Structure formats: structure tokens, C-alpha cells
Structure 1
Amino acid sequence: MISHLDHFVLTTRDMQGCVDFYSDVLGMLVVRFGAGRTALRFGQQKINIHEYGREIEPKAHLPVPGSLDLCFIVHGTIAELLAHLNAHDVKIEEGPVRRTGASGEIESVYLRDPDLNLIELSVYLNG
């Protein structure tokens, strides 16, 4: 029945800090749409951003900053990823470590975004 994920909503306390992190550090494209709405696009998916206390209806039952635990697959090697994060002065919370992704074994590093959401950045091993 389900084909793929189209978008999800991230709730932030600091719209500009959130946009800067996901666009500058993670390379997502900033998209403006509707009546002043903001999203971040990557691949064929996007993240709609809601500002805490000013969420768009309908919304999650308890939308709060810092409650997400997300894993993104990145292009390149883990060494390239580490160099990129180092160049942006991003603190790595854990890793690299091996984990199991949706399609096989991955090597991951964990970090926090400005709202303290846990972000896992991963590279598939064996292609």
C-alpha cells in the first residue's frame, strides 16, 4: 500500500537556525511556499518546518522541538562525511558505528540539530 515517504514536519524554536543547519550543513534546498511557509527538500522528499507555538493545522497531537530521531542516507564515504562535518564545526555525538538500515548494513554518525533532534547520517556499506 505505501510507496514512499513524501514529507514530514519538524517543529522548531528557531526557524532561521533550523533552516541554516539543514541547508548549510546538510545541503538541503530551502523551499518557500504557500502563505510564508518554509520547507527543506532533499531527493524526492521534503521537511515542512513549523515554528513552535505557530504550527499549521492540522498538526501532531504534541508537536515539540527536539522530539525527532531521524536517519538520512548520504552520498560518498564515511571519511568524506566526517571531513564535511568537521569543516562545519559539527559536534559528533557518537560514531562512526555500524547499524542496520532499511536496505542493509550502514555506517553512521550521530549529531544534534539546533533543536536537539537526534540526527543519524549514514552510508550504506557494500553499495
Structure 2
Amino acid sequence: MTQMKIADDEIKGQDWGIPFIYTMGFVLLVVFYIIEWYFLGCYGPPNPSDRKQLLSELANHPGLQDSIYFSIITSTTLGYGDLAPLTGGAKMLASTQALTCSIYMATGLAILLTKRRDPVKQ
């Protein structure tokens, strides 16, 4: 097995603009979802026992910290189980967020691996 050596000048010649722009796009995507969750506010403890509890959860507007937390655990598809979308529209938004962020992360990983495998020659 041969070992590949990459010289410092090859690393300096790589285009780091695309990964940077990609990372900033992901950050903006998550910020967009945080803002959307903050104004939508249709999430809370999972499985409310009755309609009265569901309505009280929807009436208590979650704060910005909860919106950030819920958006990040949804984006990373981690899902601790302490918060869940409560309405049909919120469930659609959460599944769309999980899907778009997963596709975005997978595409970014593919771009970075391709850049690493095929360094740009000057």
C-alpha cells in the first residue's frame, strides 16, 4: 500500500470558498428554522393526555431558547423526546426540516470528501 503525501503548496492551492459558503448556508438554514419555530410555537411535551392539555401547551408560547434547542435537535435528527411538534402543520415542518438538513449535511460531506480526494493543482 502506498502512502500519499500532500505538499503544503497543494493544500494552499485548494479552494476553501465552497466549503465556507456551504457552512454559512447551513447556518442560515438552521437560523431560518429557529425563527420559524419561534413564531409558530407549536411544540411542547410529547403526547398530551387530552385536548385541554394540548390547548394549554399551545397557549404557552415557548421562548427563544426552546426554539433554538428544538430546531437544533430536529436539524440533527437527534430528538431527545422531551419536545415534539403538537399540530399537523408543525409535524410537517419538523419532518421537512429534518429531511432538508440531512440532505444538506450529506451533500456537504460529499463535497468536502471530493475536494480532499482530488486536490486542486495550480
Flag whether TM exceeds 0.5 (same fold): no
Specify which structure has the bigger relative contact order, considering alpha-carbon pairs within 8 angstroms and separated by 6 or more residues: 2
Q: TM-score, normalised by structure 1?
A: 0.22
Greater per-residue strand proportion = 1
Higher radius of gyration, 1 or 2 = 2
